[in-house]
Amino acid sequence: MRRLIAAAAALAGLACASASPPPGGPEDRNPPRLLHVTPDSNAVNVRDRNVVFSFDETINDRGSGAQELDNYFLVSPSDGNPRVSYHRSRIEVRPRNGFRDNTAYTVTLLPGLGDLRGNTMRTGASLVFSTGPTIPPNRITGTVFDWAAERPAARALIQAVTPDSVLYLAQADTAGRFTIGPLFPGTYLVRAIIDANNNRAQDRSEAFDTLRVTAPQASPLEMLAIVRDSLPPRISVVTVVDSISLRVTFDRFVDPQQPPAATAFRLVAADSSVVPIVATITPRAEQAEIQALQQARADSIRRVDSLAGRLLPPRPTAAPPAPAAGTRPSVPPPYATMLLRVARPLTPNTTYRLSVTAARGLSHRADNSERSFTTPRPAPPPPADSTRRPASPTRAVPPPPSRP
């Protein structure tokens, strides 16, 4: 009897196995999907201890790459790094010291959260609610630019600090645009940081900008992030470009709103003679000169081809399209190099001293500096072509013999 029961069980197991679907299936390439968040957005008098994000699958508890899970959540106003609790497909978030009474909060899920297969969310989510009866209506909006690169600063960190040191946080989108709030009316110190190491703090080597803003604001902000310090620029290198052009490099950015004029520079030779400087050219103006020269050469070639009767390629009639509004800063970028033009050719293999008066930096401080340099030696004459055979000496041809 026991043998019959065992055999029947085995047959039943085989039948069940044959009826089940084959293992495997299509590979999951979809990122996690946010199902719902509690409490509800724009809720008031909230008493929940945590904000709960619920997903349709298990979340990678170390995020994507080497980032920790709590790097994907911002709580504003902030009292330090938020507390993030992981529950597979559910993540709970709260401030370091819990939610305060009568306070409006924004809790943000940033893009990049991933599942166990490495699929990451390209977009995030944001929740606004209040532990009191109202939500303030004010926001501060704007765009952050990487000023030196003349492009939007994607994912820049935004801070807004009240006079009593309450810290609000936000992150810019891929186009550098941001919104921070809700905020009560008042004055805020707004700081935009290109947070390269993602530690949510301004480090010494990171680009930033600060503005003092009154909420409600009159117009969107334009934040120009760049590496700044309190020292003025000084000449570090002088390079000879050609006989009438020098390139001067400063150790810090020059204020593009007040660049040094030609009269601020002085060029003195070793014999104490002064070489007048007739023009200073910024990098943007130099690029325009190069483009104009290239166009002039192209036009000259077209004229030669036209006179020779060659078929000409179609000439572009439209100028290159201007950058879209909001994709470049409205003010010129700072620079650390300038081109100088002198009144007469420089003497080869001669030492000169270049000085500048009151070069102004981004810190609005100015200083004098100088640097000596030596012009190159004259180029040696080209060597004789040793591959050519020397000409054979001319031999005299004897006259024909005379006839008797």
Note whether 359 and 386 are within 8 A (CB): no
The order of strands in the sheet holding 34-38 is 34-38, 51-55, 90-94, 83-87
260-288 mean pLDDT: 92
Tokens of 8: 């029947």
| Cα–Cα dist 294/288, whole Å | 10
Instruction: For residues 151 and 217, state if they share a domain.
Output: yes
Kindly report, residue by residue over 362-374, the tens digit of the pLDDT.
988 999 999 999 9
Q: Give the CATH number of the domain where residue 146 resides.
A: 2.60.40.10
261-265 mean pLDDT: 95
Give DSSP secondary structure letters for 259-282.
PPPGGGEEEEETTS-EE-EEEEE-
Three-class DSSP category at 115:
strand
Note whether 222 and 333 are within 8 A (CB): no
| Cα–Cα dist 236/376, whole Å | 19
Which of the four pLDDT bands, split at 50, 70 and 90, describes residue 397? low
pLDDT > 90? residue 355: yes
Kindly report, residue by residue over 162-214, the tens digit of the pLDDT.
999 999 999 999 999 999 999 999 999 999 999 998 888 889 889 999 999 99
| Cα–Cα dist 263/284, whole Å | 20
pLDDT given for residue 191 in this prediction: 97
| Cα–Cα dist 223/43, whole Å | 32
Instruction: For residues 215 and 141, state if they share a domain.
Output: yes
131-156 mean pLDDT: 96
Instruction: For residues 65 and 121, state if they share a domain.
Output: yes
Kindly report, residue by residue over 72-99, the tens digit of the pLDDT.
999 999 999 999 999 999 999 999 999 9
Note whether 143 and 221 are within 8 A (CB): yes
User: Of the residues 135, 168, 201, which one is the last residue of a structural domain?
Assistant: 135
| Cα–Cα dist 165/180, whole Å | 16
Q: Of 165, 194, 160, 198, which is closest to residue 179 (Cα–Cα)?
A: 160
Instruction: For residues 190 and 254, state if they share a domain.
Output: no
Three-class DSSP category at 36:
strand
User: Of the residues 228, 251, 267, which one is the last residue of a structural domain?
Assistant: 228
The strand ranges marked E within 199-350 are: 208-215, 221-225, 235-242, 245-254, 265-269, 274-275, 277-281, 335-342
Q: Of 15, 24, 32, 20, which is closest to residue 69 (Cα–Cα)?
A: 32
Lookup result for tokens 């981004």: 362
Instruction: For residues 254 and 357, state if they share a domain.
Output: yes
Between 135-149, 151-165, 304-318, the lowest mean confidence (pLDDT) is in 304-318
Quick check: is 207 in a domain? yes
Instruction: For residues 288 and 255, state if they share a domain.
Output: yes
Q: How many domains does the chain have?
A: 3
pLDDT > 70? residue 142: yes
Instruction: For residues 150 and 223, state if they share a domain.
Output: yes
